[in-house]
Structure 1
Amino acid sequence: MNVASQLLEKARVVIVGGGIIGCSVAYHLAKQGWTDIVLLERKKLTSGTTWHAAGLIAQLRSSQAATRLSKYSNDLYVELEAETGVATGLRHNGSVSVALTAARQEELLRTASMARAFGIEVEELSPDGVLEKYPHINLDNVQGGVWLPGDGQGDPANIALALAKGARLKGAKIVEGVRVTGMTSDHRTVRSVEWAAGDQTGSITCDHVVNCGGMWAHEVGQMAGVNVPLHACEHFYIVTESIPDLARLPVLRVPDECAYYKEDAGKILLGAFEPRAKPWGMDGIPDTFEFDQLPEDFDHFEPILAQAIDRVPMLAQAGIHTFFNGPESFTPDDSYHLGPSPEVPNLWVAAGFNSIGIQSAGGAGMALARWMDDGEMPFDLVDVDIARNQTFQRNRRYLKERATESLGLLYADHWPFRQKETARGVRRSPFHAQLADLGAVFGEFAGWERANWFAFPGEPRGYDYSWGPQNWFANAAHEHALIREKCGFYDMSSFGKIKIDGLHAETFLNRVCGGDMSVDVGRIVYTQMLNSRGGVEADVTVTRLSEFSYLMVTPAATLVRDMAWLRRHEDPSDAVFITDMTAAEAVLAVMGPESRKVLQAISPADFSNAAFPFGTAREIDIGLGIARAHRVSYVGELGWEIYIPSDMAAHVLETLIDAETGARPVGLHTMDNCRIERAFRHMGHDITPADHVVEAGLGFAVKTGKPFDFIGKQAVLHKRETGLSRRMLQFRLTDPDAMLYHNEPIVRDGKIVGHIASGAYGHTLGGAMGLGYVPCAGQSVEDSLSARYEIEVAGRRIAAEASFRPMYDPKGERLRM
């Protein structure tokens, strides 16, 4: 067969990989009106992971956006059968999840509340209600459960083949038996894809590439220098012999026993997400791999099976027809990878689906196709954006170690503040050892070990998880009081630092930022980078260091994404240089009413309001070294962020401690608790690319009157002219014992109208705090506040106070003391 005759010499897009994800991307791009679409599959369609997937199709995910994608998949698979004539096997038989502990029951009840906020039909079940839905279950230790009637199951391979047929009918070219062997690129752009089929080779010039390589996506990404961190793990299930007279059943999940049960054609499929998984393919995946199974490991699966036989006793009489072990890919944070790669913007990624590829494929394909067509994220996809990943995460040892934990976390208790246990200690600030000596309890974030809270002398250093106040609650209250009443210091070294230098630095930043960058040297500008719809792509401070040099400071998690956004919007004529300076400087935040006195004790600089006003930065002597002090605050108090060359950082902290000023260390949990009292927004939760900057209450930071056109300007002007459709409010629960985290429903006059975007405990204000959007079309602020508000927490509606202005220091006077 002459493969070259089937392929285009030039394509608009080449899709690599013919599993369900690649087929969905091809289908949706064709549906979007794209032509010259080529999908290359190394073997046969579905032959990697898709063919052996369990085919569970749940609707509810951990965020509103992910739930939207799963619901779309569910609806699409119904339509596909009529459109293509290929049976998808979709069956809406519902699902039951059960809890065996009080903690899991709390999680399920919170999940049910979240489902209502996202518009998913849900019902809480008593133990008897669980038995009614699933009559074969043993109710020992069952606390209760939740019923999702819209969930279902389908035939994974047939769904993929239906998507492939639909893509072909719309003009896409899908060619099997063609392996991608390399890519040629220049100027951060892929120009062509090289392929081989037997002894035939060739290349396709293209405008875009989509990496849907599944388990191979890591290697495919490396062909163009793109980081796609994922690792394959062995995934086990058994299928019983036919069970006589077995009626149709819903899907059953028993996460406390790491098990799920699916009835199909009179048999039961029992699958597991065991606590410690077995990574696979450390030396690469064999070239011959196609519809393959991995060796059985009954000893590894046996503990799951023993519990399952006790939970569903009829399994004891059912013979095992199939013991299956097949590989699936898992990512370091259990979220999949979607979007343009930060390294090569025309190489897109859709991979790493963590065993939810079937339920996600339809929605992920739709979202990526829209993203590619518009050039911007179509709605909030921050949680799955490929650009969230850190460069070091391509490390093979890191991926192998983290994969042992990632698979099991799918069914583990999803505690608030739960910390990863594997592959820790990769990134440490220069203050790490000193903070450990002071009692720091570290958490991991973007690979950084960060001091989250400080243990009291003699107290165990570790998390004791719960849904209520955790073991560090009193510690955080103590640290909170230090910030509000005296002085506390915390490590901000993990925050990203981007240097923008060059002759056109001012012009460039005025084009990509909503704020006015034409300020004096030493001024700090709080600003956002916006998309064309006025959505918030980044929330940053920018300090003018000199005539041709600026420093942008951004959250640790968004550094890679923000660097990519800046580079994507460089004009060829821009004389600018964009450099990641994060590791070059450590940052110590010194905050609280006594912070001026504390800093004056270790520096001869003048920290008075007259000499050092809010929103300015200047170089200072500190101890025996030199640093740069920025007068800004994310906690709502007087304070400075001290930027210190990394080689001098330990000395500066030592100097601060030795001065015995009364300043004490606090953790980043306290920073979060304080910022939410002051209603400061959190990027990724309160503000995302889908949230309009004006509706987020940040219109004050956008300067439409500056003499520069900037991205998003017209959208801001339009919103100001037409009015808001929703606005962000701050909430405080009146029950001081209830806790808010995120996604709890906001209830206005008895009706769910939104959800909490971020939550934390306000120790000064004496209750859990949350920020969230509520509809407000045609309403004044007074109208919005005149309603009766409640927040639903684990099925219980709790009265809440609402405010448009910050409940703590609404005029911002403490920042400027």
Structure 2
Amino acid sequence: MAEGPSIPAHARAVIIGGGVSGCSVAYHLAKLGWRDIVLLERKQLTCGTTWHAAGLIGQLRGSLNMTRLAKYSADLYVKLEAETGVSTGMRQCGSITVALTEERKEEIFRQASTARAFDIDVREIGPDEVKAMYPHLNVSDVTAAVYLPLDGQCDPANIAMALAKGARQNGATIIEGVKVTDVTSADGKVTGVNWERGGETGSIAADIVINCGGMWGRDLASKSGVTLPLHACEHFYIVTEAIEGLPRLPVLRVPDECAYYKEDAGKMLLGAFEPVAKPWGMAGISEDFCFDQLPEDFDHFEPILEQAVNRLPLLGTAGIHTFFNGPESFTPDDRYYLGEAPEIKGYWVAAGYNSIGIVSSGGAGFALAQWINDGEPPFDLWEVDIRRAQPFQKNRHYLKNRVTETLGLLYADHFPYRQMATARGVRRSPIHEQLKARGAVFGEVAGWERANWFADDGQEREYRYSWKRQNWFDNQKREHMAVREKVGLFDMTSFGKIRVEGRDALAFLQRLCANEMDVEPGRIVYTQMLNARGGIECDLTVTRLSETAFLLVVPGATLQRDLAWLRRHLGDAFVVITDVTAAEAVLCVMGPNSRALMQAVSPNDFSNEAHPFGTAREIEIGMGLARAHRVTYVGELGWELYVSSDQAAHVFEALAEAGADHGLKLCGLHTLDSCRIEKAFRHFGHDITDEDHVLEAGLGFAVKTGKGEFIGRDAVLRKREEGLSRRLVQFKLDDPEPLLFHNEALVRDGEIVSIITSGNYGHHLGGAIGLGYVPSKDESAEAVLASRYEIEIAGVRHQASASLKPMYDPGAARVRM
């Protein structure tokens, strides 16, 4: 019998992995009153990645909710020491990020504006102030910097130990030296775990299992058929010998040199996020890996060190005490994973922290514990939701290629529209090669290659990134105006397509969707699926194909999420849910000339009488067949053509050939977005999320409370009774020069009140357009519009006009031409 504490046979929750993530989940579940919690660690607490983390606590992240979680972590780590008696080394020494280029200056000043909107203490400072705070630094080429006084640093291993002690104090059981070999399940639901210790084996029956396995998490998940795409990379830093007279210093980031600096007990730590990283452990990680280091690779680190010696000359004379190389896990999009895996009920995940695990884990553990306890997330967590992962992303060759890039992207310029360069071309439309031959420049979403814009003959087919107008701005304008004045064609094959069919299909969708689903076959309904709070879980169209069959069309990025939502609510309904995304290509023909173009390639009648808005029917097209859906996301007359994948190339060629006589222009996703934002159409994940109430999002027209019971109905009725506390407003900058992307600070009568949720350039309206929520408790629509609005971009405020109706074609006359 192996020695060690006894392992219980039953638990309410089993947490796998004793790094900072697992300890945080255990601590927060215990704080919520869960007593029957067991955390199993295969070796020793913190022995994977946590123990060698740099321990930087930067509060500002890319969105409000990620910032909220990072701030929570910082506050928690300050309090933990008093609560547990374990020293966390938490010091709020501040942080400085310096820019060496004008583009980086624009980025960090935009971040500072965002920080103000998120209520973070922030100051823009010049080189002289940097020098005063960091006397040893070479600031000769520093253009500007941003200082966050409440950022800090900590001792990562002790943070985990403090969380573990706090969890034990509140009744959790933590056992080291126990390896989980399998997560067991039956009928699509977790039943527990199998474990081994020494030569002993056993199992724990559990309702919930949480995979906090870090770089081991992917392989453990794959045993259960769960997609958890992450891959370890080598991560390097050096620690100097003690430097005499070195004062306490803020954390310093020099992203233009891929470097960060931290003063620690009179020594300097220099770490790197190099542009081309070294993946590690593709063939698996050794069984005995415990507090292990990887072999030094000084040649790989040397370019970073050379720049660092110029930046901080004292490094040239300080001896190197430690050259450290240790593995950390990275994900395909540099965002971690939280939530319940869609494949198995009760299988939860908190992993893949991309080198920001210490600052993230406090908040992530809090959020996940709330989510598990309440059955819904405490606020919108879509950007880190495990349901965004695509099944193909578990492919190890794909992951190895992608993480060579994602590590370095942490410190790369975060330009708008930046595209991944690695692991591309996995999912392609049937007309990919035709679009490529005609000048398409592709971006990638959920693995799909999508034409973002079309280059002219002789124009380079790649992005030149900038915070100003990028090299495709004029191409987008020509595409945009073609849609408004003639006709454009978009390839939207990446749409998620889900068939819901069976005897109970109508009743099932009536319960999940807020709009009326009992319509004639051939009718298309725009709707949302709501949660119990009235927040938006899915934004979609539903086409009734027959009495018992419906086609749901969702954004490509949310397909796995939406499938999971449907399956979660299936119960014992006699319904079959099938992902049919790959079966059909989607070609969108949009613009005032679209009817004439359709008439040229099809003998069917496309008049309003024969084919009204919001209907779908089979048509002949070229020598093939398609289903033509008369709907639009750009605010013009048009049809989405659903074409069997085998006929898509033929149908495209027929449209392209006939289009020459009608002013047809091939258009990309950037134009789709600029057209939809002029029309104030909402975008899921930006303007509408699961914490945005459907009425406050201005989508009450798609909610039919009179149809009977559906999820979220009570919340809609309550909100109608109470009144709106905020409204989604459309803005246009008065000055045509500045650009909006998202997260810019929204200023009402001189006060920052919110952020821009999404932005693009309105080429027809002649200025940058943005959407954003304005707090408006007990205010009328007239009062909201009577205020003076500005939008702060990189510290500069720009006057903006506001509207609650779409600024483009508010009566939707063009859609029904």
Deviation per residue, 1:648-704 (Å, 9 max, x gap):
000001111122333121111000000000000000000001111111111111111
**Could you tell me which residue of structure 2 aligns to residue 398 of structure 1?**
398
d(CA) in 2 for partners of 1:452 and 1:331? Answer: 24
Q: What RMSD over aligned residues (CA atoms) do the two structures have, in Å?
A: 0.8
d(CA) in 2 for partners of 1:97 and 1:412? Answer: 13
**Could you tell me which residue of structure 1 aligns to residue 150 of structure 2?**
150
Give the AA of the match of 1:792: E
Structure 1 residue ranges without an equivalent (≥5) = none
Deviation per residue, 1:734-756 (Å, 9 max, x gap):
11110000000000000000000
Give the AA of the match of 1:585: E
d(CA) in 2 for partners of 1:8 and 1:814? Answer: 67
**Could you tell me which residue of structure 2 aligns to residue 600 of structure 1?**
599
d(CA) in 1 for partners of 2:516 and 2:134? Answer: 61
- Aligned pairs (5 A) from 1:430-445: 430-445=430-445
**Could you tell me which residue of structure 2 aligns to residue 636 of structure 1?**
635
d(CA) in 1 for partners of 2:694 and 2:132? Answer: 48
The TM-score with structure 2 as length reference comes to 0.99
**Could you tell me which residue of structure 2 aligns to residue 532 of structure 1?**
532
Q: Is the aligned partner of 1:690 residue 2:691?
A: yes
The Cα of 1:2 is off from its aligned counterpart by 5.2
3-state SS of the aligned residue for 1:6? coil
Q: How many residues align?
A: 815
3-state SS of the aligned residue for 1:647? helix
Deviation per residue, 1:156-179 (Å, 9 max, x gap):
000000000000010001000000
Deviation per residue, 1:531-579 (Å, 9 max, x gap):
110110010000000111000000010000000000001012x010100
Give the AA of the match of 1:100: L
Give the AA of the match of 2:705: T
d(CA) in 2 for partners of 1:23 and 1:616? Answer: 53
**Could you tell me which residue of structure 2 aligns to residue 276 of structure 1?**
276
The Cα of 1:241 is off from its aligned counterpart by 0.2
Alignment check: 8 A CA contact 1:3 1:200 kept = no
The Cα of 1:589 is off from its aligned counterpart by 0.2
Deviation per residue, 1:392-434 (Å, 9 max, x gap):
0000000000010000000000010001000000000011011
Give the AA of the match of 1:372: I
Alignment check: 8 A CA contact 1:724 1:776 kept = yes
**Could you tell me which residue of structure 1 aligns to residue 557 of structure 2?**
557
**Could you tell me which residue of structure 2 aligns to residue 376 of structure 1?**
376
The Cα of 1:516 is off from its aligned counterpart by 1.1
d(CA) in 1 for partners of 2:641 and 2:3? Answer: 62
d(CA) in 1 for partners of 2:220 and 2:694? Answer: 37
The Cα of 1:336 is off from its aligned counterpart by 0.3
3-state SS of the aligned residue for 1:777? coil
Deviation per residue, 1:73-103 (Å, 9 max, x gap):
0000111111100010100000000000110
**Could you tell me which residue of structure 1 aligns to residue 366 of structure 2?**
366
**Could you tell me which residue of structure 1 aligns to residue 668 of structure 2?**
667
**Could you tell me which residue of structure 1 aligns to residue 168 of structure 2?**
168
Q: Is the aligned partner of 1:137 residue 2:148?
A: no
The Cα of 1:345 is off from its aligned counterpart by 2.7
**Could you tell me which residue of structure 2 aligns to residue 227 of structure 1?**
227
d(CA) in 2 for partners of 1:580 and 1:205? Answer: 33
Deviation per residue, 1:142-169 (Å, 9 max, x gap):
1010000010000000000000000001
Alignment check: 8 A CA contact 2:183 2:209 kept = no
Deviation per residue, 1:308-347 (Å, 9 max, x gap):
0000011111000000000000000000000111111310
**Could you tell me which residue of structure 1 aligns to residue 733 of structure 2?**
733
**Could you tell me which residue of structure 1 aligns to residue 647 of structure 2?**
648
The Cα of 1:5 is off from its aligned counterpart by 5.9
Alignment check: 8 A CA contact 1:424 1:447 kept = yes
**Could you tell me which residue of structure 2 aligns to residue 590 of structure 1?**
589
Alignment check: 8 A CA contact 2:250 2:262 kept = yes
Give the AA of the match of 2:46: T
Give the 3 Å change call, closer, same or farther, for CA 582–777 of structure 1 in structure 2: same
Deviation per residue, 1:81-127 (Å, 9 max, x gap):
11100010100000000000110000011010010011101000111
Give the AA of the match of 1:158: N
Alignment check: 8 A CA contact 2:492 2:586 kept = yes
- Aligned pairs (5 A) from 1:401-800: 401-572=401-572, 574-659=573-658, 660-661=660-661, 662-707=663-708, 709-800=709-800
**Could you tell me which residue of structure 1 aligns to residue 27 of structure 2?**
27
Alignment check: 8 A CA contact 2:2 2:199 kept = no
d(CA) in 2 for partners of 1:445 and 1:3? Answer: 50
Alignment check: 8 A CA contact 2:5 2:175 kept = no
3-state SS of the aligned residue for 1:692? coil
3-state SS of the aligned residue for 1:428? coil
Give the AA of the match of 1:457: D
3-state SS of the aligned residue for 2:755? strand
Deviation per residue, 1:249-307 (Å, 9 max, x gap):
00000000000000010000000000000000011000000000000000000010000
Give the AA of the match of 1:687: I
d(CA) in 2 for partners of 1:72 and 1:452? Answer: 37
Deviation per residue, 1:507-547 (Å, 9 max, x gap):
00011111111010000010001111011001000000011
Alignment check: 8 A CA contact 1:96 1:133 kept = no
3-state SS of the aligned residue for 2:280? coil
3-state SS of the aligned residue for 1:729? strand
Alignment check: 8 A CA contact 1:687 1:696 kept = yes
d(CA) in 2 for partners of 1:703 and 1:203? Answer: 49
Give the AA of the match of 1:110: R
Give the AA of the match of 1:59: Q
Give the AA of the match of 1:477: K
- Aligned pairs (5 A) from 1:13-162: 13-162=13-162
Deviation per residue, 1:17-70 (Å, 9 max, x gap):
000000000000011111210100000000000000000001000000000000
d(CA) in 1 for partners of 2:334 and 2:439? Answer: 30
Give the 3 Å change call, closer, same or farther, for CA 126–648 of structure 1 in structure 2: same
3-state SS of the aligned residue for 1:637? coil
3-state SS of the aligned residue for 1:546? coil
Alignment check: 8 A CA contact 1:54 1:156 kept = yes
Alignment check: 8 A CA contact 2:528 2:537 kept = yes
3-state SS of the aligned residue for 2:510? helix
3-state SS of the aligned residue for 1:741? coil
The Cα of 1:183 is off from its aligned counterpart by 2.1
The Cα of 1:9 is off from its aligned counterpart by 1.0
d(CA) in 2 for partners of 1:728 and 1:555? Answer: 21
d(CA) in 2 for partners of 1:11 and 1:716? Answer: 38
Deviation per residue, 1:590-633 (Å, 9 max, x gap):
00001000000001111100111100000001011110000000
3-state SS of the aligned residue for 1:269? strand
Runs of 4+, deviation exceeding 4 Å? 1-5
3-state SS of the aligned residue for 2:551? strand
The Cα of 1:3 is off from its aligned counterpart by 6.0
d(CA) in 2 for partners of 1:484 and 1:612? Answer: 21
Give the AA of the match of 1:770: G
The Cα of 1:139 is off from its aligned counterpart by 1.1
Structure 2 residue ranges without an equivalent (≥5) = none
Q: Kindly, what percent of the aligned residue pairs are identical?
A: 66
Alignment check: 8 A CA contact 1:190 1:224 kept = no
d(CA) in 2 for partners of 1:260 and 1:405? Answer: 18
3-state SS of the aligned residue for 1:604? coil
d(CA) in 2 for partners of 1:487 and 1:421? Answer: 31
Give the AA of the match of 2:667: V
d(CA) in 2 for partners of 1:4 and 1:641? Answer: 64
d(CA) in 2 for partners of 1:140 and 1:391? Answer: 49
d(CA) in 2 for partners of 1:487 and 1:223? Answer: 50
**Could you tell me which residue of structure 2 aligns to residue 218 of structure 1?**
218
- Aligned pairs (5 A) from 1:184-223: 184-223=184-223
